[in-house]
A and B are shown apart, each in its own frame.
Chain A
């Protein structure tokens, strides 16, 4: 069963993390590409609530939420994004290349669709070693138009590999709305084509995401092969950094005000998520985040001699 307070904590943390990253970006302290996942927090928190440390996640360019939900490593994430030696990828990767082997996070990915077959490899490794772990990939609806997804679904189904495909169907790929890029929005049909069970899920309802992920992982761990979740959500921020965003403001208002994942969770469980509880969680999150940012800002840059030695250059 999903721990609602825990879910609320991590969803709040991811959202605050993204807002804090954005402010650091605007101050010029955080450089490079920055893809924020504000609005989509329920997806990684719901899915990762049923994953174990030995289940492996491969993520996308928009990976902060996935990383935080899977690893709970706030400090390593922000330090990496600030290019510090203490970052989860030692300052070599940045926002798009987060990594944490111990917690089963085998990499975010700067190439749309790139992580999908790698997750199949993580699934294959579990099959190969006779363990009941899972290889899970998050990908956007944009990546669902990449050939890697189709090849991977076929191979996963053919070999009955323990593979979980989570499509974060947020209705937009970079700046192109999905109806303009995609002949059929219904991503569950892709799974049907390969004989893979699939569900369409309300991605702004963490309980529904967790319940669907529980059904999916139960199926997979029984050795029945892959599963696909078509999770509907909304990306509140623009694609990257300060790129212009021309989406319909009325649709944006509906998602951010009426369908907001945190607001919905509070309203569905007022007896558990009382204002006292949520205030306490928000204060804890703020404190943890600020201390992580302060530690990262105080941390050293990657050591050049260490880099030379590690990579022989």
Chain B
């Protein structure tokens, strides 16, 4: 049985179910105790669990990220909310030098069961350079994190449940382009394991790997190409650890790899997909792999400028056509 609910309702359901199951889970971040945060991303939870477990904070990202780190070392399981991913920069010492490294530097004795949640990740909404960063590659590069980026309501719920049960820190990116989008979510307990990609469209000509809101652009591109190029579309869902089994199985079938992402190209998730495929499956490739990404520049405000900078379905279609020649 399915229910038709918004992405945020689905994730809030996961939080609610897990908070009811596990007393150690608490939420911390700006405005969470007032109408569930500025995105209504935890709506109803403060009424149900109180201000002890839904801790609203001042605009002090370093302090509340550090608070989560200390609480996690002490045995709690915090979910830290950042209003925008861009705002995590001011807490980067706590994120990169404390949370990411504690387990290693204390010899495995300090697990860090923290979920860093950035529900307003994304571009294309005219929010300009300091509210449009896609930071997933930063966190994938830092040893110590698992990184997920669900963009469907079902994946949001299922991966949040896995993140809340994980032993180590999980960076949980979400797309602001889908927060209020209603989709089908299975009724009852629903868990999506970390580290599993999903083939969202089967095809034989070309493997189109994507993640985040790129999923919707890749599906649009696949529709535009239909009848000419039969693309197999894979949503990674988890960026680290990356599900190379699913990616490689597809590349073995199609012999072509095209990666599409909304983030800039340099040292990115797409670069990593290509590295892995070249190293692990070079023999299967009929053509050099391609990455279509946004341009290597900060996000400008004006609509025509932003649309020029950000990767669009047409870019995918063009690259795919070139690869089929």
Does chain A have a CB within 8 A of B62?
A: yes
Q: Mark A145-172, 1 if CB is under 8 A from B, else 0.
A: 0011001101100110000000000000
If the complex has contacts A151-B63, A152-B66, A155-B58, are A121 and B72 also in contact, measured as CB distance less than 8 A? yes
Q: Are A117 and B108 in contact (CB under 8 A)?
A: no
Q: Are A128 and B52 in contact (CB under 8 A)?
A: yes
Report Cα–Cα, A101/B234, bound state, in Å.
43
Does chain A have a CB within 8 A of B198?
A: no
Q: Are B110 and A107 in contact (CB under 8 A)?
A: yes
Q: Are A120 and B66 in contact (CB under 8 A)?
A: yes
Report Cα–Cα, A263/B18, bound state, in Å.
57
Q: Are B109 and A101 in contact (CB under 8 A)?
A: yes
Report Cα–Cα, A148/B70, bound state, in Å.
14
Which stretch of B91-99, B182-190, B266-274 is in the interface?
B91-99
Report Cα–Cα, A92/B109, bound state, in Å.
10
Which residues 56-72 of A have a CB within 8 angstroms of B? 56, 58
Q: Which of A91, A93, A124 neighbours the largest number of chain B CB atoms within 10 Å of its CB? A: A124
Report Cα–Cα, A118/B71, bound state, in Å.
8
If the complex has contacts A125-B76, A128-B26, are A99 and B62 also in contact, measured as CB distance less than 8 A? no
Distance (Å) between the CB of B19 and the closest chain A CB?
Answer: 13
Report Cα–Cα, A113/B52, bound state, in Å.
26
Does chain A have a CB within 8 A of B297?
A: no
Q: Are A124 and B70 in contact (CB under 8 A)?
A: yes
Q: Are B73 and A97 in contact (CB under 8 A)?
A: no
Which residues 92-125 of A have a CB within 8 angstroms of B? 92-93, 97, 99, 101, 106-107, 109-111, 113-114, 116-125
Does chain A have a CB within 8 A of B57?
A: yes
If the complex has contacts A93-B105, A117-B65, are A101 and B110 also in contact, measured as CB distance less than 8 A? yes
A148 neighbours in B (Cβ, 8 Å): 62-63, 66, 93-94
A154 neighbours in B (Cβ, 8 Å): 58, 60, 63
Q: Are A125 and B75 in contact (CB under 8 A)?
A: yes
Report Cα–Cα, A106/B97, bound state, in Å.
15
Q: Are B69 and A90 in contact (CB under 8 A)?
A: no
Which residues 283-309 of B have a CB within 8 angstroms of A? none
Q: Are B109 and A90 in contact (CB under 8 A)?
A: yes
Distance (Å) between the CB of B64 and the closest chain A CB?
Answer: 7
Report Cα–Cα, A159/B71, bound state, in Å.
15
Report Cα–Cα, A107/B103, bound state, in Å.
11
If the complex has contacts A56-B74, A111-B97, are A121 and B66 also in contact, measured as CB distance less than 8 A? yes
Does chain B have a CB within 8 A of A140?
A: no
A158 neighbours in B (Cβ, 8 Å): 58
Report Cα–Cα, A151/B64, bound state, in Å.
9
Report Cα–Cα, A114/B98, bound state, in Å.
7
Q: Are A152 and B98 in contact (CB under 8 A)?
A: no
Report Cα–Cα, A109/B102, bound state, in Å.
10
Does chain B have a CB within 8 A of A89?
A: yes
Q: Are B93 and A111 in contact (CB under 8 A)?
A: yes
B64 neighbours in A (Cβ, 8 Å): 117, 155
Report Cα–Cα, A128/B68, bound state, in Å.
12
Among B65, B72, B97, B108, the residue within 8 A (CB) of A92 is B108
Distance (Å) between the CB of B202 and the closest chain A CB?
Answer: 32
A101 neighbours in B (Cβ, 8 Å): 73, 109-110
B72 neighbours in A (Cβ, 8 Å): 121
Q: Are A90 and B107 in contact (CB under 8 A)?
A: yes
Distance (Å) between the CB of A116 and the closest chain B CB?
Answer: 7
Which residues 282-313 of A have a CB within 8 angstroms of B? 310-311
Does chain A have a CB within 8 A of B314?
A: no
Q: Are B102 and A122 in contact (CB under 8 A)?
A: no
Does chain B have a CB within 8 A of A135?
A: yes
Report Cα–Cα, A109/B26, bound state, in Å.
25
A142 neighbours in B (Cβ, 8 Å): none
B104 neighbours in A (Cβ, 8 Å): 92, 311
Q: Are B63 and A155 in contact (CB under 8 A)?
A: yes
Does chain B have a CB within 8 A of A87?
A: yes
Distance (Å) between the CB of B117 and the closest chain A CB?
Answer: 17
Q: Are B107 and A118 in contact (CB under 8 A)?
A: no
Q: Are A117 and B107 in contact (CB under 8 A)?
A: no
B residues apposed to A, CB below 8 Å: 26, 52, 55, 57-58, 60, 62-76, 93-94, 97-98, 102-110
Q: List 24 A-B contacts (CB under 8 A).
A: A56-B70, A58-B70, A93-B105, A99-B107, A99-B110, A106-B110, A110-B97, A114-B97, A117-B63, A117-B65, A117-B69, A118-B67, A118-B69, A118-B98, A120-B63, A121-B73, A122-B70, A122-B71, A124-B71, A126-B74, A128-B52, A147-B62, A148-B66, A311-B103
Besides A89-B107, A93-B105, A124-B55, 11 other A-B contacts (C-beta < 8 A)? A97-B105, A99-B109, A107-B73, A117-B62, A117-B65, A121-B66, A121-B72, A124-B71, A125-B76, A151-B60, A155-B67
A residues apposed to B, CB below 8 Å: 56, 58, 87-93, 97, 99, 101, 106-107, 109-111, 113-114, 116-128, 135, 147-148, 151-152, 154-155, 158-159, 310-311
